[in-house]
Structure 1
Amino acid sequence: MYALVDAVSYYASCEKVFDPSIRNKPVVVLTNNDGCICAVCPIARRLGVPKFKPYFQIKHFLAKHNVVIRSSNYELYADLSDKMMNVISRFCDNQYVYSIDESFLQFKNYNKLITDWHEYGHTIRKAVWRETRLPVGVGFGTTPTLAKAANHAAKKLSGYDGVAVINDDKSRKEVLSRMTVTDVWGIGSRSGKRLNTLGINTAWELANQSPKVMRKQFSVVVERTINELNGVACLNWEDIKQPKKEIFSTRSFGERVTNYHALKAALTTHGSTVARKVRNQQSLIKRLLIFAASSPHDDNYFNKSVIYEFPIATDNTLKIANAISTVMTDVFINGVNYYRCGVGAIQLQDSKFQQHDLFTVNTDDPELMNCYDVINNRYGNATVEVASAGQVHKWNMRREFLSPSYTSKWHDIPKIIC
C-alpha cells in the first residue's frame, strides 16, 4: 500500500500557523515580486479568488472582501515543510518527499498491523495538525498513481473528509469516474486534449483502455499510467526519486539593475543556489548556463546567455562563482536596464560515476562544501556566502507583504506574554 500526504493550500496555510488572527480569514500568497497569486486558502477560494491572476488586476476585489495578502516567505515555508515531513515519516517504513508539501509513503510491513486505512489516515492528519498546525489530505492506493488519485479525492471531491482509500475495484471506480483525465498524475494538458478527441474524458475511461495500444499512440508513460490505474505497480521508488536533469535558479529584480557588480552579485547568488541543489541530489555540473536580460517590453530589448563548460564536472560553489566572473564581460553591457537574470545547470552527471581526468587534479574540496551547507542549513540560507555575492542585495525581489520568519530569524521568534 502507498499513500500521498499533501498539505492544503500549503503557502497560505503556512501563513496562518503563527498568526491565529487570520486563521478564519481569506488569505492569498503572491509570487516573486508580488506579481501573481500563487496560493489561495479554501476560504478565499469560496469567494472566487483565482490562482495565477496578476495581483494588480484584482487588488480592489481583494480589498473589498478583506482578503489578507502575503508575499512568498520561502524561509518559513521550507522550515515548516521539514517539520511536517518529520511528523509524517513516523507513520511508515519508507518515505519520499516529492515536493515542499507532498510526501509519498510506502507501507511494506504495515499491512498486517493496520486494519482500517481510513482511520489511519485521520491519525496522520491529526498528528500533523497537532504538531505543525498544517491541514493535510491523505490518499491511500495500491500504486503510487492510485494514491495520488485518492489524495485528489480526499481534498477536492465531495463526500470525502480529508482521507480517501482506493484498495478495491469499487473504490477505484468511484474515484476515477469523478476525475477528469487531466487530473491523473502524469497526464498533461496536451495529452489530455488528444485523449479528449478520442472520447476519453475521465480517469476511469483512461483506465479501461488497452495499455499497449495507448503506448503506440502516446508513450510508455501513458502505458504505465494505465497499468497503475488498474492496480499494477509500474513505478518503483527509484523512478519516483529520479534526480532532475536540469536545475535552474532565476528571478526578476525588484528594481532594475544597471551596475556591473550588482548583476554579478545576483548571478553569483543564483549560482550558489544551483550548486546547493545539485549537491542535494548528488549530481555534478558539466555545463552551466548564465543569462541576463532587460524587459521584453523595453524599446531596446537585450537578452544575453553564455554557456560555460567545466573541464571536470563539479558541484563546488567557488568554481561556479569563478565561472560567472569569467563570462561577466560577455553578459554585462553598459546602459542596459537589467530586469531578470539566472543560472542553470543544463548538463548534469551522477557524482557516483564521475569520469576523472588523468592530468587534471580534482580540487572540488567536498569537506568545505559540506561545512558550507551544514552552516547554512542550521542558521539559514546566506549565513555563509561567497564574497562576490555581496552583503547588501539592492536587487532583491519586492516583497511588500512579507510575514516574519518565525522559525529562522531570532528577531522574528514569536513572543508569548502570559
Structure 2
Amino acid sequence: MYGLVDGNNFYVSCHRAFRPDLEGVPVIVLSNRDGNVIARSNEAKALGIKMGQPFFETKELRQQHGIVVFSSNFPLYGDMSSRLMSLLTNFVPDVEVYSIDEAFLQLENFWGLYPTYQGLGQDIRTKIDQWLRIPVGVGIAPTKTLAKVANKLAKKRSELNGVCVLETPQQIEDALANFPVEDLWGVGHQSAARLKRENIRTAAQLRDTNDDWIRQIMTVNGLRLVHELRGMPCKLLEVTPPPKKSIGSEPGFGTVIPDLDTIADALTSHLTRVGMKLRRSDQLAGAVTISLRTSKYRKTPGNGLAAKQYSNSITLNLPHPTSATPELLGYALTGLKAIYKTGYQYQKVGILLTDLVPESYRQKGVFVEGPDERLIKLAGVVDKVNKRFGQDKLRLASQMYNPEWPYQQKYLSPHYTTRWEDILEAM
C-alpha cells in the first residue's frame, strides 16, 4: 500500500500557519515579481480567481471582497516543506519527496502501530496540524496512481475528513466510476481530449480499455497508468531522487526593460542562482539555453493597442561541462546578444542549463581542455560565504549593486522560520 500526503493550498497555508486570523479569509500568493497569482485559498478560488491570472486583473475583486495578498516567500515555503517531510519519516521510514508539498509513503510495514490505514492517515493529519498548522489530505491505495485518486477524493469529499483509503476492490471501483479521466495523474490536455472523443470519460472506463489500443494512443506510459488503475504497481517509490535533467529560471522583470545592459545584469543574477542550484545538486552543465520575450499583456501608450511582440531563444553547447558561474556566464551573455533586438520592451529573460552530468565527470576533447578547476572551487567558496552571510554578499563584479530591475515584493511576509529578527515572540 502507498500513501500520498499533499498540503492543501500549501503556499497559502504556510502564511496562515503564522496568521490564524486569516482562516476563512480569501488569500492569494503572487509570483516572484508580484506579476501573477500562483496560489489561492479555497475562498479565493470560489471568487473566480484563476491560477496564473495576472495580478492587475484581480483589482476589482480584491476591493470588493477584501482579499489578502502575499508576495511569494520561498525561504519560508522551503523550510516548512523540510519540516513536513521530516515529520513524515516519524511515521514510516520510506518517504519519496515528490514536490514541495507532496510525498509518497511506503505503508507495507508501518510496524503495526495502527489497527487500520484510516487510523494511520488521521494520525498523520492530526500531528501535522498540531506541529506545523498545515492542513493536508491523505490518500492510501495499492498503487501510487490510485493513491493520487484517493488524495483528490480526500480533499473533495468533506465527509472523508481529509483521509481516503481505497483498500478493497469495491472501494476502488466506487472511486473510479465517476472520477474524471482528465484529473488522473499523467493524463494531459491532449490525451484527455483524445480519450473523450473515444467516449472514455472516467477512470473506470480507461482502466477497462484494451491494452493494445492504450499502447498505441498513449504509449507505454499510458499502459503503466492503466495497470496502476488495475491495482498493479508500476511506479515504485523513489526514496533517492533521480538526478535532475535540467535547472532553469525565468522570473519576470518588475517593469518592462528595453536596454541590453539591464537585461544582461538580470541574466547575470538569474545565472548566479541557477549555478548555485547546479552545484548543490553536484552536477555540471553541458549546454546553456537563453530565452527572451516581451509581455503579451502590454498595451501601446496612447492608442491602447497591443504592443509589438518578440520572443526568441538560443542554445549553446559548451566545449566541456562545468558548474563555474563565470564560465557559464560568458556563454550565456553571448547567447543573449545573439537574440536581443532593439525597439522592444522586454518582460522576461530566462536561462536553462541542460545536458547535466555528475560533478565527478571530466572529459577533455582533442582540441579542448577540461573545465577550469579553480573557477569551480571558487564558485563553491562563494556559495558557502553567501549561505553564511546572506545572498549576494559576494557577487560577480559585473552585477549592479542597485539593479534597475528589482524584485517587486510589495506584499512580502516575515521569514518566520529562517530569519532571527522575524521569529514570533510569545507575549
TM-score for the superposition, normalised by structure 1: 0.88
Q: Is 1:363 aligned to 2:355, yes or no?
A: no
Q: Deviations over 1:344-371 (max 9, x none)?
A: 1243335566645476244346655555
Hey, what does 1:115 align to over in structure 2? Answer: 115
Cα offset, 1:254, TM superposition: 0.5
Where structure 2 has 5 or more consecutive residues not aligned to the other structure, the ranges are 301-306
Hey, what does 1:403 align to over in structure 2? Answer: 413
Q: Is the 2:28–2:41 Cα contact (8 Å) retained in structure 1?
A: yes
Q: Is 1:224 aligned to 2:221, yes or no?
A: no
Cα offset, 1:289, TM superposition: 1.0
Hey, what does 1:175 align to over in structure 2? Answer: 175
Q: Is the 2:91–2:110 Cα contact (8 Å) retained in structure 1?
A: no
Cα offset, 1:95, TM superposition: 1.5
Distance in 2 between residues matched to 1:15 and 1:27, nearest whole Å: 9
Q: Is 1:212 aligned to 2:212, yes or no?
A: yes
Distance in 2 between residues matched to 1:240 and 1:221, nearest whole Å: 21
Q: Is the 2:97–2:239 Cα contact (8 Å) retained in structure 1?
A: no
Hey, what does 2:251 align to over in structure 1? Answer: 251
Q: How does 1:113-152 map to 2 (within 5 A)?
A: 113-152=113-152
Aligned to 1:389, the other structure's residue is in SS state coil
Aligned to 2:52, the other structure's residue is in SS state coil
Cα offset, 1:209, TM superposition: 2.0
Cα offset, 1:290, TM superposition: 1.8
Aligned to 2:200, the other structure's residue is in SS state coil
Most deviating of 237-246 and 287-296: 237-246
Distance in 2 between residues matched to 1:383 and 1:178, nearest whole Å: 55
Hey, what does 2:316 align to over in structure 1? Answer: 308
Cα offset, 1:138, TM superposition: 1.0
Q: Is the 2:17–2:134 Cα contact (8 Å) retained in structure 1?
A: yes
Aligned to 2:159, the other structure's residue is in SS state coil
Most deviating of 354-363 and 110-119: 354-363
Hey, what does 2:194 align to over in structure 1? Answer: 194
Aligned to 2:151, the other structure's residue is in SS state helix
Cα offset, 1:69, TM superposition: 1.7
Q: How does 1:236-247 map to 2 (within 5 A)?
A: 236-238=236-238, 241-247=241-247
Q: Is 1:74 aligned to 2:74, yes or no?
A: yes
Cα offset, 1:40, TM superposition: 1.7
Cα offset, 1:283, TM superposition: 3.6
Cα offset, 1:167, TM superposition: 1.9
Q: CA RMSD in A?
A: 2.8
Aligned to 2:6, the other structure's residue is in SS state strand
Q: Deviations over 1:117-139 (max 9, x none)?
A: 11111111122122211111111
Q: Is the 1:93–1:108 Cα contact (8 Å) retained in structure 2?
A: no
Hey, what does 2:303 align to over in structure 1? Answer: none
Cα offset, 1:2, TM superposition: 1.4
Q: Is 1:321 aligned to 2:329, yes or no?
A: yes
Q: Is the 1:287–1:310 Cα contact (8 Å) retained in structure 2?
A: yes
Cα offset, 1:216, TM superposition: 2.0
Hey, what does 1:389 align to over in structure 2? Answer: 399
Judged with a 3 Å threshold, the aligned counterparts in structure 2 of structure 1 residues 234 and 23 are, in CA distance, closer, same or farther, namely same
Q: Is the 2:321–2:371 Cα contact (8 Å) retained in structure 1?
A: no
TM-score for the superposition, normalised by structure 2: 0.87
Distance in 2 between residues matched to 1:287 and 1:361, nearest whole Å: 15
Cα offset, 1:220, TM superposition: 0.7
Q: Is the 1:255–1:397 Cα contact (8 Å) retained in structure 2?
A: no
- What one-letter code is carried by the residue in structure 1 that aligns with 2:369? T
Hey, what does 2:2 align to over in structure 1? Answer: 2
Judged with a 3 Å threshold, the aligned counterparts in structure 2 of structure 1 residues 260 and 191 are, in CA distance, closer, same or farther, namely closer
Distance in 2 between residues matched to 1:80 and 1:265, nearest whole Å: 31
Q: How does 1:288-307 map to 2 (within 5 A)?
A: 288-296=288-296, 297=298, 299=307, 301-307=309-315
- What one-letter code is carried by the residue in structure 2 that aligns with 1:396? P
- What one-letter code is carried by the residue in structure 2 that aligns with 1:400? K
Cα offset, 1:336, TM superposition: 4.7
Cα offset, 1:279, TM superposition: 3.7
Cα offset, 1:107, TM superposition: 3.1
Distance in 2 between residues matched to 1:240 and 1:169, nearest whole Å: 31
- What one-letter code is carried by the residue in structure 1 that aligns with 2:347? Y
- What one-letter code is carried by the residue in structure 2 that aligns with 1:393? P
Q: Is 1:277 aligned to 2:277, yes or no?
A: yes
Distance in 1 between residues matched to 2:119 and 2:419, nearest whole Å: 38
- What one-letter code is carried by the residue in structure 2 that aligns with 1:403? S
